[in-house]
Amino acid sequence: MDMKTPTKLGVLSLALLAGTLTGCRGDRSDKPPRELLPGMDDQPRVNPQTSSEFFAEVDGRSMRKPVVGTVGFSRQPVVPEGDEPWMETARQDRRDLLEVDPRRYLGLVREEDPAEVWRFQTPALWIERIPGSVDRAMLERGQSRFNIYCSACHGFSGEGGEIKLVDGVEIETGGMVGRRFNTPPPSFHDPKYLPESDERTGRDGYLFYTAMYGVEHGAKMPGYAHALSADDGWAIVAYIRALQESRRGTLADVPEEQRRILDRQRGGNANAGTERGGDS
């Protein structure tokens, strides 16, 4: 057999292949490309904040929480020593990880499984007031975190979702996200959320727990413990209390110097509306 025959066949095959590829150049198709080795390119997936039939008997959520007992760890292998801001943040994260305090980290008087706490109706389970002092820096931090994580549903003033009739015109209140719900988010100015309420919902510990772990284990409202530290959670509670007080306050509560400034801005009597609430 002539040894040149295979070579000729090979050259002919390459020529035919090149001609075929050239003929396909510029063609368009709506069909998906052929994958010889698809690997894991195509696989089942779920969208965040959706339901899951697979976990229907657990909580029905597609987004899963860490396994009970999971211990977080820092990306820093050692405890940094120094006065750089990020070092103090790393040290505080480590203290938060190792410290066990149900009052500060759960808002509860005793240790309980966060997955089951929402079932308890006893008000005394939640601590009554914020553990620690509240200062301006804390309120400003709470305002920042509230505006980021809470206002989308509850509104920037904590008014919740509702429809008000103003001068015969219906005005929809609340955050843009909350307006999409069939059940509007509640208002923090509802008497049951005020600190003097006899219900569990009026306790600072309940508001903290709700912000961190959600309502009914996330079934009605997701928790934000993945994005908020314990200090952030309590700062939000402090800011909610400030919003409540601002709604109930009167001009008589404003210091005299600031009252004169308000009077000039309003162009009226500084004592006008003293008996009315903050909405006057």
What distance in Å separates the CA atoms of residue 276 and residue 220, rounded to the nearest whole number? 35
Q: Describe the crossing of helices 136-149 and 230-248 by its angle, rounded to 10 degrees.
A: 90
What distance in Å separates the CA atoms of residue 158 and residue 96, rounded to the nearest whole number? 29
204 pLDDT band, cuts 50/70/90, is very high
CB 127 within 8 A of CB 107: yes
108 pLDDT band, cuts 50/70/90, is very high
SS3 call for 85? helix
- Please give the pLDDT value at position 199: 92
Token pair for residue 163?
Answer: 């429809």
CB 219 within 8 A of CB 59: yes
pTM over 0.95: no
Among 241, 245, 250, residue whose Cα is nearest residue 278 = 250
Which residues lie across from 221 on neighbouring strands?
A: 215
Token pair for residue 5?
Answer: 């025959």
Q: Lowest-pLDDT range, 59-63, 199-203, 210-214, 270-274?
A: 270-274
- Please give the pLDDT value at position 145: 97
pLDDT at 195 over 80: yes
What distance in Å separates the CA atoms of residue 163 and residue 247, rounded to the nearest whole number? 18
Q: What is the mean pLDDT of residues 61-77?
A: 72
**Ranges of each domain in the chain:** 89-131+185-248
Q: What is the mean pLDDT of residues 117-142?
A: 92
CB 159 within 8 A of CB 174: yes
Q: What stretches of the chain show up as alpha helix (H) in DSSP?
A: 4-24, 85-98, 102-105, 136-149, 151-154, 204-213, 230-248, 256-266
What distance in Å separates the CA atoms of residue 160 and residue 175, rounded to the nearest whole number? 7
